[in-house]
Amino acid sequence: MEPSKLVAQVKHFFPNLENLEERLRTDTEGTLEFGTEPESRTRSRSIVFGRDERTTPAGRRSSGSAIQEAEEQVHRSAVEAGARAVKKIREGSSGTDMSEDEKIGLEVIVNMARPAIFIQAGKFFPPPEGWESLEQYRARIETVCRSVGRIEAKGHRLLYIGTGFLVGENVIMTNAHVADEFCQKCQREKWQFKAGMVPGIDYIKELGATKTAMFNIEDVIGVHDDFDLALFRVTTKSASGSTAAEPLTLASDAKYAKTGRQVYVLGYPAFDSRAQSTSAAAMRAVFNDVYDVKRLQPGNVLKVLDKDALFRHDCSTLGGNSGSCVIDLETNQVLGLHYGGVSGEYNVAVSLWKRKNDPLLKKAKVNFGSAGSA
């Protein structure tokens, strides 16, 4: 991200720069009140948002003691550099006089404002400073978590392909570009699975999970011609005999789709091997190199693009979040289908309330709420 934009975002998210500098200067551990740590000592940190997610590189880094110590040193270094950068901003810097380390520190600070919170055993970790309001919605958020899963395909080169969520009886929604990874259009415009691909969706895949809840994807309902959206039929029971959660409710009008509206994303952010320079360093520093597991990623609606039937949001996402639901925090209804973004600027989602009368969604009997319902 350009230094001037980093400076602008730091000022926006942290109006009290003096207080921020003091917190950074006195935080010798590099934790910055990021929340309670699990037994593995993996901190709940934010991620770099806004990647083009048409490809979804997946991977998980090992966590031996030597690596962990090195990562913690990276965090401490980023915090120290961030403190120096904030001091320069307070003194009037526009960012042009900052070192690469200081730019990385600022990017880490910016990403703190939009965390990616671990989910473990169906519960999300205590939210970091500034997001305490999530606690009052905890029960509803954790109910929604059960309807969001990781899409995988046996025979595919990647560990997993993206995220999906239940929107109807045995119906999941994801992105068309996720579907492209294991489906193809054949004769008479019919879609079918690619040879050798056996797709499924696992509704767990959380931090430290030892169990799975894998449901086979058994049929392609349809891939949208105009929007990055696809629908699939899934089995009624998993291989272990468990049943799926209830489908989520989609917003049926634009009543709550407004700039500044608080939302959250649920999905499976993956390591971004394409990230370079400060973005890569910030991603490692703020994310602790733990990927591919379910996360709660809060943020806000930035802008509604009615003409394009899309909207922008600033929840922290990476590749692997493709196909995630964007949910209104207050009503718990799905406003959008996340599909990509511009690094450090914004993410984009399909406005699902605009698709209430869409033939594909009507065919699948997608679960829309009543107009104006809360």
Tens digit of each residue's pLDDT, the chain (374 residues): 688 888 887 887 788 888 888 878 776 454 454 333 333 222 222 333 333 333 333 333 333 455 456 556 666 777 888 889 999 999 999 888 999 888 888 877 776 678 889 999 999 999 987 789 999 999 999 999 999 999 999 999 999 999 999 999 999 999 999 999 999 998 767 899 999 999 999 999 999 998 999 999 999 999 999 999 999 999 999 988 889 999 999 999 999 999 999 999 999 998 877 665 456 656 665 566 788 999 999 999 999 999 999 999 999 888 899 999 999 999 999 999 999 988 767 899 999 999 999 999 999 999 999 876 66
Residue 203 buriedness (CB in 10 A; 0-12 / 13-18 / 19+): buried
Determine, yes or no, domain membership for 259.
no
Q: What is the pLDDT of residue 40?
A: 29
Cα–Cα distance, 126 to 135 (Å, whole number) = 8
Q: What is the pLDDT of residue 27?
A: 63
One domain, residues 40 and 102 = yes
Cα–Cα distance, 151 to 317 (Å, whole number) = 16
Q: Which residues contact 188 (CB under 8 A, 6 or more apart)?
A: none
Determine, yes or no, domain membership for 290.
no
One domain, residues 72 and 8 = yes
Last-in-domain residue among 218, 234, 250: 234
Q: What is the pLDDT of residue 71?
A: 53
One domain, residues 18 and 73 = yes
Cα–Cα distance, 101 to 281 (Å, whole number) = 9
The encoded tokens of residue 292 equal 């591919």
Last-in-domain residue among 131, 151, 167: 131
Q: Please give the backbone phi and psi of residue 233, each rounded to the nearest 5 degrees, phi first.
A: -95, 135
One domain, residues 157 and 68 = no
Amino acid identity at 81 = A
Determine, yes or no, domain membership for 159.
yes
One domain, residues 124 and 155 = no
Determine, yes or no, domain membership for 303.
no
144 φψ region: left (φ > 0), alpha (ψ -120 to 50), beta (else):
alpha
Determine, yes or no, domain membership for 346.
no
Q: What is the pLDDT of residue 61?
A: 34
One domain, residues 90 and 184 = no
Contact 356, 257 (CB under 8 A): no
Cα–Cα distance, 263 to 325 (Å, whole number) = 10
Q: How far is CA 170 from CA 166, 174, 191, 251, in A?
A: 7, 14, 18, 19
Domain with 101 in it: 3-131
Around 212, how many Cα atoms within 13 Å sit in the side-chain half-sphere?
A: 12
One domain, residues 15 and 112 = yes
How many domains does the chain fold into? 2
One domain, residues 75 and 20 = yes
One domain, residues 44 and 121 = yes
One domain, residues 77 and 23 = yes
User: Is this model's pTM higher than 0.75 or not?
Assistant: yes
Q: Please give the backbone phi and psi of residue 71, each rounded to the nearest 5 degrees, phi first.
A: -65, -40
Q: What is the pLDDT of residue 44?
A: 26
Determine, yes or no, domain membership for 171.
yes
Q: How far is CA 367 from CA 249, 333, 335, in A?
A: 5, 10, 12
One domain, residues 176 and 200 = yes
Determine, yes or no, domain membership for 25.
yes
Q: What is the CATH number of the domain that holds 165?
A: 2.40.10.10
One domain, residues 71 and 176 = no
Contact 341, 299 (CB under 8 A): no
Last-in-domain residue among 234, 267, 282: 234
Determine, yes or no, domain membership for 338.
no
3-state secondary structure of 262: strand
**DSSP labels, 2-30:** -HHHHHHHHHHH-S-HHHHHHHHHH-TTS
163 pairs with which residues across the strands? Answer: 150
Q: What is the pLDDT of residue 282?
A: 61
